[in-house]
Structure formats: C-alpha cells, structure tokens
C-alpha cells in the first residue's frame, strides 16, 4: 500500500498542489495548517473526492509543542513520506529594515520548525512498518540571496539546504532518502504575503523560460523524488525555476 504523505503547510500553494496530485496518484494525505483551516479542509475535500483518506491537523511549525502534538497524533502503523513545506515570508525589506522579532519568527518556522518536523518524521519512520522519504522545500533564493527583497527568507532556505545535506548523509544507510526542491518564480500567494502581488508578472520576463512556474509543476518534482523511480537519488537539489 502506498505510504501516506504528510505535508506541512498543506492549505495553499505548493503544499495544496502536492496534496491534490498525491490523491490523483492514489495516495492518502495528512495536511497541516497554521491558521487557514477552511482552506486546508477544501484541499482535504478534493483528496476525499478521489477516494483517498485526508487528515487535517493544526500545526504552527514555529511552535515546538504543535510539532510534538502532530507526531503524537499519528498512529505508528502509518508509514509516511514527509513534504517539509511549511514556511513564511515577511514583507519585502532590506537588511536595514530587519528586526530581531521578524528574524526570530521566520527562523523559528522556516529553520527550527523544519528541523524539528524532520526529527519527528524520522522517529516515526523508524517505528513504522516501512521507511519513508523526505523532501524539504527550499527555494532558488538560497542560491540567489534575494538582496533588497527577502534576504532573511533566502538565508533560512540556505540553512535548510545545509540541513538537507547533513540529514541525507545521516539517513542514507537506513534507506531513508532526503532531497530538496528549489522552486523559482511560482504562481502562489506567497508574493502577495510579501507585499508584492505583481512580483510574478514583473520578474517572469527575466526567467530564461520567460514564464512563471505553477505549483503543480513543483508538486510533480516533489512526488517524483518520493517515488520508487528516484530510488537511487538522495542529497539532491532539484531546481524547478525555469532556468533562473
């Protein structure tokens, strides 16, 4: 039986697209959300319409107790794969505009939270009847730095890249593969949350492919990395950025 996919931040964007595509491929899904329960339930409704199970769990990955509660709620007999997707971005800013409070929150969610989620998933995989795999959702900004825009967000994704390398090395001998996907300019609501709802249209002409990507295109890369077709692929960074 296919492993259940646990997707953090599954209520919108790449997480939601991954959940829908996973259901299309015949897989059950566990979705977490921080605040948007209605959106998460809408995604879950799609999964159920495909005849698959969908579980919705509230989890702010910036709160360690929420992460503990998430894994305490998962039955040990449920074999899982992890899509470590939950992340936040602040308003467009330069270094001079950053505050300790902003940095603490974005690193708590995007770095500390992602590491703790992976820790919980690995412990669960070791106790489950079958090992699963992990895909961390990084960003092309980890390579580009995103100066004058989202330099703190880029820094968190750089940290996640380093964690991906180390975790892949730790777990390879156990049969747990760890990879990352680096999306580029993707049509999601993330840009509006950063105060730039027109960013996709403005930057897309600078992408070699001359267009933005879709959340579904990223989801296809994620699901391939979790599949048996990627059975000899670990510590890999898949760019889904149109060549940017």
Catalytic residue from among 46, 150, 153, 232: 153
3-state secondary structure of 240: strand
pLDDT grade for 197, boundaries at 50, 70 and 90? confident
Domain containing 130: what range? 4-184+216-239
pLDDT at 204: 82
CATH of residue 175? 3.40.50.720
pLDDT at 1: 72
Does residue 196 carry a pLDDT above 80?
no
Mean pLDDT calculated for residue range 9-19:
97
Decide if 108 is inside a domain.
yes
pLDDT grade for 192, boundaries at 50, 70 and 90? low
* 53 class by beta-carbon count within 10 Å (0-12 exposed, 13-18 middle, 19+ buried): middle
Decide if 60 is inside a domain.
yes
Task: State the Cα–Cα distance between residues 155 and 48, nearest whole angstrom.
Answer: 37
Does residue 194 carry a pLDDT above 60?
no
DSSP per-residue letters across 73-105:
TS-TT--EEEEE------SSB-GGG--HHHHHH
pLDDT grade for 193, boundaries at 50, 70 and 90? low
Q: Are 204 and 169 in contact (CB under 8 A)?
A: no
pLDDT grade for 200, boundaries at 50, 70 and 90? confident
Mean pLDDT of the chain, nearest integer? 95
Task: State the Cα–Cα distance between residues 1 and 13, nearest whole angstrom.
Answer: 27
Decide if 31 is inside a domain.
yes
Among candidates 87, 84, 86, 83, which has minimal Cα distance to 106? 87
Mean pLDDT calculated for residue range 175-187:
96
Of how many residues is the chain composed?
244
Decide if 211 is inside a domain.
no
Mean pLDDT calculated for residue range 70-93:
96
Decide if 198 is inside a domain.
no
Query: How many structural domains does the chain have?
Result: 1
Decide if 201 is inside a domain.
no
Which has the minimum average pLDDT: 42-46, 70-74, 111-115, 193-197? 193-197
pLDDT grade for 203, boundaries at 50, 70 and 90? confident
The separation between CA 10 and the C-alpha centre of its own chain, rounded to angstroms, equals 8
CA angle 92, 95, 101 (to 5 degrees): 80
Which contiguous run of DSSP H or E holds residue 33? strand 29-33
Write down the pTM of the prediction.
Answer: 0.94
Does residue 17 carry a pLDDT above 60?
yes
Q: Based on the residue annotation, tell me whether 46 is a catalytic residue of this protein.
A: no
Mean pLDDT calculated for residue range 194-200:
70
Decide if 136 is inside a domain.
yes
Tokens standing for 62?
A: 């910036």
Decide if 96 is inside a domain.
yes
pLDDT at 147: 93
């Amino acid at each position: 039986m296919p492993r259940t996919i646990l997707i953090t931040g599954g209520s919108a964007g790449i997480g939601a697209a991954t959940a829908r595509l996973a259901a299309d491929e015949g897989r059950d899904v566990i979705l977490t959300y921080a605040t948007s329960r209605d959106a998460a339930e809408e995604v879950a409704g799609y999964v159920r319409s495909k005849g698959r199970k969908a579980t919705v769990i509230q989890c702010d990955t910036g709160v360690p107790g929420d992460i503990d509660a998430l894994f305490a709620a998962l039955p040990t007999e449920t074999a899982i794969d992890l899509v470590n997707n939950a992340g936040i971005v602040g308003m467009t800013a330069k270094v001079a505009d950053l505050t300790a409070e902003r940095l603490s929150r974005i690193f708590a969610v995007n770095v500390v939270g992602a590491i703790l989620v992976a820790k919980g998933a690995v412990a669960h995989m070791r106790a489950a009847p079958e090992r699963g795999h992990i895909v961390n959702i990084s960003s092309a900004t980890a390579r580009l730095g995103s100066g004058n825009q989202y330099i703190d967000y880029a820094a968190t994704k750089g940290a996640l890249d380093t964690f991906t390398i180390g975790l892949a090395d730790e777990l390879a001998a156990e049969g747990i593969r760890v990879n990352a996907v680096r999306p580029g300019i993707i049509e999601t609501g993330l840009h509006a949350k950063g105060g730039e709802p027109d960013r996709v249209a403005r930057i897309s002409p600078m992408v070699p492919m001359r267009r933005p990507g879709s959340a579904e295109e990223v989801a296809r890369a994620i699901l391939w990395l979790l599949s048996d077709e990627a059975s000899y692929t670990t510590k890999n960074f898949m760019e889904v950025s149109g060549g940017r």
